[in-house]
Chain A
Amino acid sequence: MTTLRNLFIVGWVGLQVALPLSYYLGDDRFDERFAWRMFSPVRLSECRVKLVDRTDGAATIVRPNAELHEVWGNLLSRARSPVVHAYAKRWCDLRRDAGATAPALHAEITCENPARRGDAACAGALAAGAASAQPGCVVEPIDPAQNLCEVDR
């Protein structure tokens, strides 16, 4: 019993150290759920989110807000990666069910770099886009070249 309890305590404290640490050591700055990051500049960073259907070489904009509750739309617009991937999985599965053999969905997400919010050199960087903005002013949390239908299969 004592061993079990000690394991529980060690596991609990370990998780409470490891989860925030994994956020700071990881690549995804936009998923702060378990990081205890309150009053975060990430929450204030704006993102431009575009989901593009590139099946068969087309480039059609996908509008998830038309089918999802606004709470999910808000999380997508904050570049919450698990939500982007879950939506992509659903979209790709529906396309496959409809007969598409190789559906292709790409997430073109550009966000203000939270670490450089307020930096005058980065003013207007989001509007300029990832290609034209000064280096480091914007970030792309998900590789836009990645076909999410392949990743999340």
Chain B
Amino acid sequence: MSAYFDAFEVSARRLAVLRVLFFGLLAFDLWTIFLPHAPRFGAGGFNVSQVPALDAWLPLPTPGVVGALYIVGGLAAFCAALGVGVRLALPVVAACYSGVYFWSQSDSYQHHYLVSLLLVLLCFVPHGAWRGDATHVRSWAMRLVYVQVSLMYAWTAATKCDAAWLDGSTMNSLLSCEARLHVQAFGNALGWSEAGALRAVSASIMLGEFAAAALVLYAPWWTIGLFVIPFFHAGVEYLDFDIELFSYYMFVLLFALLLPQRWLDRGWDAVAQRLGGPREQVMRALNGDSVHPGVSTPWLIAGATALATFAVLRALPVDRADIGAVLAAAFALGVLAPWNRGAASVGTSSAIALIAGSGLCLAGLARSEALYDYHRQWGGYLRRSGDVEGAIARYESANAIQHDAPARHVALARLQLKRGEAAAAALNVDEALRRDEAAVSQANARARSASADAHDHLELGRAHVRLADTLKFAVEAFPAAGRSDDIAALQRKREGHLGDARSAFEANLRSDPACGAGRGELARLRSAGDGADR
């Protein structure tokens, strides 16, 4: 056994590809998908860890601490992807990601478990290998990464050796309408019934996963694995299963782990030929003669970088951004510290990477829905649990982040009305109406364009329903605020938008008669008597 692990060699280029793709994806994941979920941690003073026996000793997670760990973990992953401070970045990412995963069962995705395990294993890869000190390096930990991926495929295949999977009934329950049409077409082409096609697909998935377990383990078969295994994950995306970025992690992992070395070398040389010269020039300009270990300039740059990292991340509009900013500044100092001992792999470029990573986190979050979701979801929980003050504060943050798009103004106005602040509630309804009308105009333009599809009609219908709901609440909120708006006109306007919504949903069904989601929306309108309340 020892030789099986000891003798395993991996090329520095393969590790570089793994580093860039895997950790780049991880940074994106932590900042945009994990961060909005931070408010659920410790909500209601309740938590169960993945190892409940430890619960008596573990502190209760809080949104502030979990959010900070996601932010710093993302920054460390970003640095690892760029090859900056990898020695420190890997344990930091592993501690942030795996630590939060094992801290709470509120995060129960199996691929988060897989990523946690892989992050721990990657910490044991000799750090010089990530820097490319040698062309090849022996690493028992990388062998264990392959074994881990193989074990995952083997178990997930073994779990499918039961009647409920093999008779196609589980697959049948999982399929979306569109996917079902494709399975039917596949069956028709072969002269099979839909049930027969489902059984065939189910059996081939099970057999394919057993094959994947073997292909990953045996290097001469990697090329076959590279072309076969990603099909399962592509299928998962095709069937539209909600498993966040799992498929993308597997694409990245399979590409980095299974790409034949000669193809990797050929691609590497081609990229190096194009980018090598400019990269050398940039690195020389950044790290060249201006830095001399032992003089005060490096310490000044390290301090300034830590300060800049702190300042940028402190500006993030999340709870306890100061914790994340302090941890990130400490990480920056940790990364730049080897520089002061004369290490060759760090320099001004590392400092720039750290500041760029922090800036990317701030700018990227500002442009994504993540921060809006963070406050919106937290506000929703606080509203349901009766914390009106807290919910109002969260909704106000969410609305400010969302700029001109429809947000949570009506939900906020409801709470304000409940608290007797009718004038403030009416102002929020005005703002909701302004944004909803703008959204209807935009959706209308898309639905009337030559390239409009079923989805555009669906979105237009939903925009009309949203505006109709806001108008319904306006009828209640405006008189409470003492405003003399024409209530009958508001109601007529609302009826008009409901009619437009019905027309848009019908157009959706005409564009996609088999699977159009307009059917469900029309049913919801009928069951609500007109429009659904938000």
Q: Which of A13, A32, A40, A75 has the largest count of B CB atoms less than 10 A from its CB?
A: A40
Q: Please report the total number of A residues contacting B with Cβ < 8 Å.
A: 41
Q: Are A118 and B106 in contact (CB under 8 A)?
A: no
CB neighbours of B173 from chain A (8 A): 41, 44, 117-118
In the assembled complex, which residues on chain B have CB atoms less than 8 Å from the CB atom of A70? 381, 384
Are A36's CB and B40's CB within 8 A?
Answer: no
Q: Given A12-B144, A20-B155, A118-B169, does the pair A86, B48 have CB atoms closer than 8 Å?
A: yes
Complex Cα–Cα for A83 and B52 (A):
9
Contact A118 B381 (CB under 8 A): no
Instruction: List chain A residues, Cβ under 8 A from B170.
Output: 39-41, 44, 117-118
A9-B144, A82-B105 as given contacts; A38 in contact with B156, CB under 8 Å: yes
Are A83 and B105 in touch, CB under 8 angstroms?
yes
**B152 touching A118, Cβ below 8 Å:** no
Q: A38-B110, A40-B159 are contacts. A117–B105 as well, Cβ < 8 Å?
A: no
| Contact status B172-A118, CB under 8 Å | yes
**Whole-angstrom distance between the alpha carbons of A16 and B528 in the complex?**
50
Question: Could you tell me which residues of chain B, from 234 to 285, have a CB within 8 Å of some CB in chain A?
Answer: 241
Question: Is B155 within 8 A of A33, CB to CB?
Answer: no
| A12 neighbours in B (Cβ, 8 Å) | 121, 144, 148
Minimum CB distance partner of B380 in chain A: A70
Let me know if A54 is at the binding interface, CB within 8 A. no
Q: Are A35 and B2 in contact (CB under 8 A)?
A: no
Residues on the A chain within 8 Å of B231, using CB: none
A134 smallest CB distance to B (angstroms): 17
Question: Which listed residue (A41, A86, A87) contacts B165, Cβ 8 A?
Answer: A41
Which residues 132-178 of B sit at the A interface, judged by CB distance below 8 A? 140, 144, 147-148, 151-152, 155-156, 158-160, 162-165, 167, 169-174
When C-beta atoms are compared, the residue in chain B nearest to A36 turns out to be B155
Measured between beta carbons, the chain B residues less than 8 angstroms from A82 are 48, 52, 105
Partner of B44, one of A40, A68, A80, A116: A68
Please pick, from B40, B156, B164, the residue contacting A69 in the complex, using a CB distance under 8 A: B40
Contact partner of A114 among B40, B52, B164, CB < 8 A? B164
Q: Does A115 have its Cβ within 8 Å of any Cβ on chain B?
A: yes
Residues of B within 8 A of A102 (CB): none
Expressed in whole angstroms, the Cα–Cα distance for A80 and B1 within the complex equals 37
B50 cross-chain contacts in A, Cβ below 8 A: 33
Question: How distant is B50 from chain A, measured CB to nearest CB, in Å?
Answer: 7
Of A5, A13, A115, which contacts B147 at CB under 8 A?
Answer: A13
Tell me if A101 counts as interface (CB < 8 A to partner B). Answer: no
Contact code string B50-89 (vs A, CB < 8 Å = 1, else 0)? 1010010000000000000000000000000000000000
**Majority secondary structure of chain B interface residues (helix, strand, loop or mixed):** helix
Distance of A64 from chain B, by nearest CB (Å): 9
Question: Which of A13, A67, A68, A69 has most B Cβ within 10 Å?
Answer: A69
B162 (CB) vs chain A CBs: closest residue: A115
Docked complex: B174-229 residues within 8 A CB-CB of A: 174
Chain A residues lying within 8 Å of B106, measured Cβ to Cβ, are 69, 71-72, 75
Is B1 a contact of A71 with CB atoms below 8 Å?
no
Q: Is A63 an interface residue (CB 8 A)?
A: no
Residues of the A chain whose Cβ atoms lie less than 8 Å from the Cβ of B52: 82, 85-86
A residues near B156, Cβ cutoff 8 Å: 36-38
Assembled-state Cα–Cα distance A115/B384 (Å): 36
* A33-B110 contact, Cβ under 8 Å, with A9-B1, A44-B170, A90-B46: yes
| CA A97 to CA B517, docked complex, whole Å | 51
Asked whether A35 lies within 8 Å of B113 as measured between CB atoms, the reply is no
Mark each residue of chain B from 328 to 342: 1 if its CB lies under 8 Å from any CB of chain A, else 0: 000000000000000
CB of B385 closer than 8 Å to a CB of A:
yes
Tell me, in angstroms, the Cα distance from A66 to B381 when the chains sit together.
10
Q: A10 CA to B350 CA in the complex, in Å?
A: 37
**Cβ of A132 < 8 Å from any Cβ of B?**
no
Contact of B151 among A5, A16, A83, A87 (CB under 8 A): A16
Q: Which chain B positions have C-beta within 8 A of A75?
A: 105-106, 108
Interface contact B108-A37, CB-CB below 8 Å: no
Q: Among B46, B105, B174, B385, which residue has its beta carbon within 8 angstroms of that of A39? A: B174
Residues of A close to B46: CB separation below 8 A: 67-69, 72, 86-87, 90
| Central interface residue in B2, B46, B381, by most chain A CB within 10 Å | B46
A67: contacting residue among B5, B44, B105, B110, CB under 8 A: B44
Q: Is the CB of B147 within 8 A of A35?
A: no
Q: Is the CB of A86 within 8 A of B155?
A: no
Q: Is B43 an interface residue (CB 8 A)?
A: yes
Residue of B at shortest CB range from A86? B48
* Residue numbers in B under 8 Å from A35 (CB-CB): 155, 159
Taking CB as reference atom, which chain B residue is nearest A118? B169
User: How near does chain B come to A66, taking the closest CB pair, in angstroms?
Assistant: 8
Q: Report A47 CB to chain B, min CB distance, Å.
A: 15
Q: In the bound complex, what is the Cα–Cα distance between A68 and B385 (angstroms)?
A: 8
Contact A115 B105 (CB under 8 A): no
3 nearest A-B residue pairs (beta carbon): A118-B169, A36-B155, A69-B43
Residues of A bordering B, CB below 8 Å: 2, 5-6, 9-10, 12-13, 16-17, 20, 32-41, 44, 66-72, 75, 80, 82-83, 85-87, 90, 114-118
* Interface, chain B (partner A; CB < 8 A): 1-2, 5, 40, 43-44, 46, 48, 50, 52, 55, 105-106, 108, 110, 113, 121, 140, 144, 147-148, 151-152, 155-156, 158-160, 162-165, 167, 169-174, 241, 381, 384-385
Can you show 24 pairs from A to B with CB atoms below 8 A apart? A5-B140, A16-B148, A20-B159, A33-B113, A38-B110, A39-B171, A44-B173, A68-B44, A69-B44, A70-B384, A72-B48, A75-B105, A75-B108, A80-B105, A82-B52, A83-B48, A83-B105, A87-B46, A115-B162, A115-B164, A117-B170, A117-B173, A118-B169, A118-B170
